């Protein structure tokens, strides 16, 4: 079981803004990318609580950037912390802003990542360019 937190600069404004997402590998070896995207119901692979509103699973390949530059690894968890994050991702349809997205001040992709980490009880700082990370969820 492994969970990674990745981020990449946004197109055009990457000098000041980034997009965060999770990459999760479960015990069965399945690898999935979880994120909030500005377009609701944009696709990805879904099912109950997997792609809902602005929350998407597997909209993009795990390692793919978002068009503003290469992706970076921010953190990696195994064991209990990874399990806690996977549990929250498994109920991502409970994210309070599934049907709402705003670039500024949020809710956005960084708000979702902050919510997942908080719900999982995992502390991980996000870079200053993660606008929306403090938006209330």
Q: What residue spans define the domains of the chain?
A: 2-120
Least confident of 27-31, 54-58, 78-82, 129-133: 27-31
Q: What Rg value do the Cα atoms of the chain yield, rounded?
A: 13
Q: Can you give the pLDDT at residue 25?
A: 92
Q: State which of 11-25, 46-60, 87-101, 114-128 shows the largest mean pLDDT.
A: 114-128
Which has the higher per-residue pLDDT, 49 or 62? Answer: 62
C-beta separation of 70 from 90 below 8 A: no
Taking residues 103-118, report their average pLDDT.
96
Rounded distance between C-alpha atoms, residue 25 and residue 46, angstroms: 16
Q: What are the residues whose beta carbons fall under 8 Å from the beta carbon of 8, sequence distance 6 or more?
A: 14, 18, 19, 65, 66, 68, 69, 70, 71, 72
Taking residues 51-60, report their average pLDDT.
89
Q: Can you give the pLDDT at residue 77?
A: 98
pLDDT at 95 over 90: yes
Q: Can you give the pLDDT at residue 5?
A: 98
C-beta separation of 100 from 43 below 8 A: no
User: pLDDT tens digits, residue range 4-54?
Assistant: 999 999 998 888 899 999 999 988 888 999 999 998 888 766 555 567 899
Helix (H) or strand (E) holding 23: strand 18-25
């Amino acid at each position: 079981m492994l969970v990674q937190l990745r981020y990449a600069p946004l197109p055009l404004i990457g000098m000041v803004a980034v997009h965060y997402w999770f990459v999760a590998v479960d015990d069965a070896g399945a690898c999935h990318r979880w994120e909030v995207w500005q377009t609701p119901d944009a696709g990805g692979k879904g099912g109950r609580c997997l792609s809902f509103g602005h929350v998407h699973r597997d909209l993009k390949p795990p390692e793919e950037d978002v068009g503003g530059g290469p992706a970076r690894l921010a953190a990696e968890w195994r064991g209990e912390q990874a399990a806690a994050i996977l549990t929250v991702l498994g109920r991502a349809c409970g994210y309070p802003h599934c049907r709402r997205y705003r670039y500024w001040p949020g809710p956005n992709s960084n708000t979702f990542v902050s919510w997942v980490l908080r719900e999982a009880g995992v502390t991980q700082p996000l870079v200053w360019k993660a606008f929306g990370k403090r938006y209330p969820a």
